[in-house]
Amino acid sequence: MKRGRTAAILLLTIITSFFWWNSCLAQDRSQDQSENYPRRILWDFRDDKDDDKGPGYYDYPLWKVFNDGAFDLRRFRVIEDGRFIELEFTFEGEIQRDWAEGSEKWTADNGWILQTIDIYIDKDHKAGSGVTRTLPGRNVNFRIDSGWENMVLVSPRSRETVIKTIKNKTEDMEFLALETKIIVPSFYTVKRYQIVARIDRKTLGDPQPWWGWQALVLCNDDRVTSNSFYNRDVVSFKTNYKFGGGADYDGDPNVLDLLSPDKSTQYRWLSNYRSHPDARKNRYAVIEHVYTEKAPQKQEFSLPHKDYLKIFAEMAADSSSPGSSKKSGAAAMPPTAPQMDRNGQLIQSSDTSAASVSSFDRRGLSPSEPTRNQNEVQSSAAVNETDMVSAPAGKTSRAVKESRKSEQVDPQMTECRSRMEQILKAAVDYHTKSPQDENITLLDLIYAGYFKENLSCPAGGKYAIYGEETGKLKVRCFNPSGVEHGYVE
């Protein structure tokens, strides 16, 4: 009996020691983690007051539960806290936790009842990268150069309910394709004027200073339809539980507030829509992310002069005859870069072997106008500089007209001109949508979805786009091997 009691005490001591040791290890891991990721503010944005009117004229519902300022987002912060990222929303009005009037009683799983908040995150700020549509029922889209890679859905409903709803919304195939990009927080803290959502940093990644953020504030609704996802529509005349000032047809934004430099910018973004009885004629408002820093520039946009020389050398090597070979120990002659004047016109030279390589900027244009011997005789395949004059709007340049004469004898020229015209058409459309971009490249057009792959001249040339500053775009084929295909504008 005594031995059995001693054995039981020993076993209890071992079990207690085991749990105590595990708790110590967990505490140490927590401390190590806190040291690796100290709590700090990563992004802080203050929004204008009294702009919770959507495009400027939305009106609050009649029921008093919709207190003034309840949808007026005043501050949004991104906070790093250990292995978690906190998204903190501060509103002008108090957060309603629950409410009852007569037979109506509103409660929620996460501690508040009125607001649904979408957070969209642009991680690269590249044209054509990311998603431009938003969740169903928002009725807004993002600009083509402001697409998002991840979004966080902050809802009063429980995480399990929201995830199940996302998986069951099978009628919208485009929405199902976004499932992996949608993050649903697992923990919330609700204060008098604040809602704080907490997510694991592994699901989002480490926030970078150049990330763009956008928070859309909507009126919560527990129902999910083909045209809504946990949000209420804004109608023409306000009701007990719906905002007024919108349209009774689809197309008007259901966003009450968002992040913007000022309220006038928000009103301009959200008022540019069309609502029509025929849904095919609707046009959603287009919005942008808010950025505080620029993303790192792509190397392709700002190549040093020596990198251009390397490109020309590779192009010349590719265009050499298959039978030619380099002698061991012989120094390779540097290829001659095309000589351009300030207007982007090609300057021909009969003595290409003796021509010196000029310096080029990032578009392949010479910063200064080289000299030219006017008495030199041009080859019949080349285009004279006097022919390279600008054509009137809507007409083709003389250089291209001359090139058309030789279509039968030079099929590569025909194909090259066709590709230049495709690039020009895409560049004009891209420049119309993004007029602030003063350095359009073929890579930009690929990112924007105009082309699936890089286009190049069949003869080995490379294409360059220029003229953004004047609004008169041109596409030119550069080929150091001597083949000249002109340009289109």
Summarize pLDDT for 83-112 with one digit per residue, the tens: 999 999 999 999 999 887 777 777 889 999
E strands within 82-135? 84-91, 99-101, 104-106, 115-122
pLDDT tier for residue 81 given thresholds of 50, 70 and 90: very high
Number of H helices and E strands in the chain, helices first, is 9, 21
Please tell me the pTM assigned to this model.
0.58
The pLDDT > 70 percentage for the chain reads 67
Output the pLDDT for position 450: 84
C-alpha span between 489 and 476 (Å, rounded): 9
3-class DSSP state of 83 = coil
Q: Is the pLDDT of residue 485 over 80?
A: no
Per-residue pLDDT at 16 exceeds 60? yes
- Say what the pLDDT of residue 120 is: 98
The angle subtended at Cα 76 by Cα 73 and Cα 82, nearest 5°, is: 145
Please give the residue that has the higher pLDDT: either 436 or 339: 436
* Phi, psi at 243, each rounded to 5°: -70, 150
Q: Is the pLDDT of residue 243 over 90?
A: yes
Point out the least confidently predicted range of 17-31, 154-168, 456-470.
Answer: 17-31
Query: What pLDDT sits at residue 200?
Result: 94
Q: What's the N-to-C CA distance of the chain in angstroms?
A: 103
Looking at residue 317, what is its pLDDT? Answer: 56
Average pLDDT of the chain is 77
| pLDDT tens string 366-378 | 444 444 444 443 4
E strand or H helix at 464, and its extent? strand 462-466
Q: Which residues of 157-180 are buried (b: 16+ CB within 10 A; e: fewer)?
A: bebeebeebbeebeeeeebeebee
Q: Is the pLDDT of residue 45 over 60?
A: yes
Q: b/e for 359-394, b at 16 or more Cβ within 10 A?
A: ebebbbbbeeeeeeeeeeeeeeebbebebbebeeee
In this predicted structure, the answer to whether residue 63 has a pLDDT above a threshold of 60 is yes
CATH for 31-287 is 2.60.40.1190
Domain definitions of the chain by residue range:
31-287, 299-318+334-488
pLDDT at 360 over 60: no
